[in-house]
Structure 1
Amino acid sequence: MSFADLTSFDQAVTFLQQHQQTAYIILFLGALLETVIPFSLIVLGEVFFLSGAVLAGLGVLDIWVVMLVLFSGGILGDNLSYWLGYRYGNGLFDRLQHWPLIGRMIHQENYEKGVAFFEKRGASAVFIARLSGPLSWITPALAGIFRLNYGTFVRFNTPAVIIGISQFIILGYFFGSYIRPILNWAHQYGLAVALIVVGLIAAIFLLHRFLDWRKRVERTREEIVQFILHHFGLSLVIIACVFVGLLILI
């Protein structure tokens, strides 16, 4: 969807409004599989968290239902991962390394970092790792592998899931609430902003090049004049871009 094509955007919103149940199921499965090995290696939970929140901000989905399916999916997924680690133990990751495609995505170094982190932090690792990105997909399984008490795991993991997902919900919901004004603004002023940004970046690059050229050796006034004349055309283009952009904005 292009910025200018708001009609197709509205059509997409209408389609999702007519298929809300399917959308909720997809969000639940995305949150569920984010930390369930081996799906956690290829499923990016952030995509589902943000998508659900944006759709809620647009009024397509109910924000409370979105929160319910994402929280419940995340909590259930972490618990399944815990029991997989508990059941299959240290051999789980060894088995996955022999899987086609998936085996190539497992890095022994990341696994060893997760083990060291869990051993050092103990139960608190369950809480911290859920908020630390890459470690989140392997920590619930490690908790099972190292036989962390299940009650302790639930107490530390559940609030971490809610906090971790909530940060994406807040961001996505805010963006979804203002996406139409943002698209309208981008359609009206996008070219102006692009011209100004390109002009400023080029100006910074040219200034950096001049300073770097000058500091290498002592330059005479004639050499500096020659440098300026050599880049005069580019300087005019930069000034024109910024000037035209400002005129459009004004």
Structure 2
Amino acid sequence: MTVDALLQTIPPIAVYLVVGVVIGLESLGIPLPGEIALVSAALLASRHTLDISPVGVATAATIGAIVGDTIGYSIGHRYGMGLFERLGRRFPKHFGPGHVALAKQLFTRWGVWAVFFGRFIALLRIFAGPLAGALKMPYRQFLAANATGAIFWAGGTTAVVYYLGLAAEKWLSRFSWVALVLAVVVGVVFTLVMKERTAKAIAALEDEHDWDTLRRI
């Protein structure tokens, strides 16, 4: 079976569900590749041989983001900052003190805008909902920023990737599936770069904290 034939066996509803669930769980606070799922689905939608709607992909991503963030907000609001301490002990690579401190610093500096722009940043995409709840951000402000950020992120990403996919299909003809592989690779590379930048920011924040501690001694 060829790649094209295999892709044609995927029901559109399955693509929408995967996108919505993966992004929803990521927004809830579970570190999953939501951006890669969205980019891959948007590129599949650009294939004229597949019955996958870019509007459906963007809608599923938006709903998943809003619902996931809202559940995360509710959990954070109920359990407070103690939730991150418990998560940090169990999952130090994702919820360590440095990650929480950096996310909290961004929230303190940018307020509700951290929720909006957090949709475009891997670290804040995971922390935005639970942290906003733990910091007792008013829900109306949170919901407005969360929904607006989700619409811009999901709709914008889908549109850009969709039209790039159309261009790729025009140039690559039957081998346009190569663009899917390239998109996934680019998504993985981008994720790794953002992880490295986040790690450097956390290290800088920890060094600053250590220096402040020494100055107080």
Query: Structure 1 length normalisation: TM-score?
Result: 0.63
Residue 187 of structure 2 is matched in structure 1 by none
1:33 to 8, 25, 31: 25
Is 1:181 the counterpart of 2:173? The answer is no
Q: CA deviation at 1:11?
A: 0.9
Residue 89 of structure 1 is matched in structure 2 by 80
**Shift in CA distance, 34/13, structure 1 to aligned 2, threshold 3 Å:** same
Q: CA deviation at 1:165?
A: 1.9
1:135 to 105, 124, 129: 124
Q: CA deviation at 1:186?
A: 7.8
Matched residue of 1:97: which SS?
helix
| Count of residues paired in the alignment | 174
1:164 to 133, 144, 153: 153
- Deviation larger for 162-171 or 103-112: 103-112
Amino acid at match of 2:3: F
Which of 1 and 2 has greater Rg?
A: 1
Q: Which runs of 5+ in 1 are unaligned?
A: 1-6, 188-250
**Shift in CA distance, 48/116, structure 1 to aligned 2, threshold 3 Å:** same
Q: For 1:182-221, what aligned pairs fall within 5 Å after superposition?
A: 182-184=171-173
C-alpha distance in structure 1 between counterparts of 2:86 and 2:103, whole Å = 18
Q: Which runs of 5+ in 2 are unaligned?
A: 177-217
Residue 77 of structure 1 is matched in structure 2 by 68
Amino acid at match of 1:36: L
C-alpha distance in structure 1 between counterparts of 2:58 and 2:148, whole Å = 14
Contact 1:50 1:171 in 2 (8 A): no
Query: Structure 2 length normalisation: TM-score?
Result: 0.72
Amino acid at match of 1:9: V
Q: Deviations over 1:156-212 (max 9, x none)?
A: 11111111222321222123323333434989xxxxxxxxxxxxxxxxxxxxxxxxx
- Deviation larger for 103-112 or 56-65: 103-112
Matched residue of 1:147: which SS?
coil
* Structure with the larger RCO, 1 or 2 (CA within 8 Å, 6+ apart): 2
C-alpha distance in structure 1 between counterparts of 2:105 and 2:23, whole Å = 26
Amino acid at match of 1:55: L
Residue 53 of structure 1 is matched in structure 2 by 42
Residue 212 of structure 1 is matched in structure 2 by none
Matched residue of 1:138: which SS?
helix
- Deviation larger for 49-58 or 132-141: 132-141
Is 1:120 the counterpart of 2:114? The answer is no
C-alpha distance in structure 2 between counterparts of 1:112 and 1:80, whole Å = 22
Aligned-CA RMSD value: 2.2
Following TM superposition, the consecutive aligned residue runs of length 4 or more in structure 1 with deviations greater than 6 angstroms are none
Contact 1:124 1:156 in 2 (8 A): yes
Amino acid at match of 2:139: Y
Residue 154 of structure 1 is matched in structure 2 by 143
Amino acid at match of 2:20: F
